[in-house]
Amino acid sequence: MEYDKDLQSIQEARFVIEAAKKAQKKLAEMSQEQIDAIVEAMVKKTSENAAYLAKLANEETGFGNVTDKTLKNKFASDVVWSSIKDLKTVGILKDDKDKRIMDVAVPMGVIAGLIPSTNPTSTTIYKALIAVKAGNGIVISPHPGAKKAILKTVKILRQAAAEAGAPNGIIGALTTLTAKGTEELMKHHDTALILATGGEAMVRAAYSSGNPAIGVGPGNGPAFIERTANVEQAVADIVASKIFDNGVICASEQSIVVERVIAEQVIAELKKHQAYFLSESESAKLAGFILRGNGTMNPQIVGKTAVQVAKMAGITVPETTTILVSPQETVSPSNPYCKEKLCPVIAFYIEENWLDACNRSIELLNVEGRGHTLCIHSQDEEVIKEFALHKPVSRMLINTPGALGGIGGTTNLEPALTLGCGAVGGSSTSDNITPLHLINIRKAAYGVKSMESLRGPEPIAESIGNSTVDISDNEVRKLIEAALKKLSETS
């Protein structure tokens, strides 16, 4: 007898959530030291297996390359751990003796971790670490295209946690993958929060689930090279960022915007880095390949090299080509070069001055990527401030590569693989997500004022006849009203 796969996945989601909930109640009783020991064990084991997991992800998805995926796995384990290991997430976080208020950490419960195929193993490691560090259980929902790599990562994390004393079930995962099963996970009454990383439709579903969610929409970051920039360094940063893991990190640059006065210098520098400038006909040919009829990107280009993308589109380029550059003059939702391209393809705009470049950047972000990331290369602090004041993004990266700058690799932003896009981007936060986003804070406040002190000024002294008594404002009003009434009766 063959059972309905949707029903199986729904039932599995319920079982795994129930197990995670029971385990989380036990975890919540543990000390900060015990939880930190569990997380550290998870970090050590995933760091040891970083290259192995990278190879699994690359082989299963065909995205990116093993070297860069290994670095991402190391980032998700070692770098994230370094940033959170001393973070207090259990018990009393703060005791303000002056204000008489205590902040108490309260874990949320069970976190639903939705994992994309673009960064499957690194995102799984990262979400599991921050969830458990905050005293929560987590249930992983793998992308079907990276199921094997994600479930292997979960197995390694789960084994390491168990050996360090974590309760059984604290890290769960769906293995029968259907949309109905993921929907059950997101809508279940015991799911405390959804960490959603992936496509726009999935993120929207998370926010409409009825449960709290932190979602990340698409990136589409412009990179503005201003006339005072170190052009050589700026171009090197952009190319290195765009080819990192073949462009699958959402904070990577999607467009280059330059001032006309330095345009030729930038073009020459890009060509030194083996960038291939597409002709008008080649740009049109590639556009027809990367944009599908329904307006979405062709998944075949995701995580492929520039040479592979060109070959798929029937364009001949040198085998040493690093990125494909398409000169553009217009911005519209129907122009694929104006959107997120998860591969080494980038648009190129020339503007007269920084004000025009500013407006062009906003136009691009309004098509896609509002709230996410923007890069600027400049030595002019006033221009940098103007960009910071007016761009609809949550992180503006200055003189640094977008891919690793946005996640906190080359900047001092919090190391994270879930990047909030703020209200402007339809997200609940603009932060890089840390364990502190996965706890509630209970306020324990002592009384410091009496109710009488809130009623108004102290009673006033009023002379009546030959005696002086204390009379409140209310009593004064009553005396005046009585006197007026008596006068009206005698008149």
**Which of the residues are catalytic?**
250
CA dist 435 and 231 (Å) reads 38
CA dist 248 and 197 (Å) reads 13
Long-range contacts of 48-53 (CB under 8 A, 24+ apart): 49/73, 49/156, 50/74, 50/77, 53/121, 53/149, 53/152, 53/153, 53/156
Dihedral pair phi/psi, residue 377, rounded to 5°: -115, 110
CA dist 14 and 81 (Å) reads 30
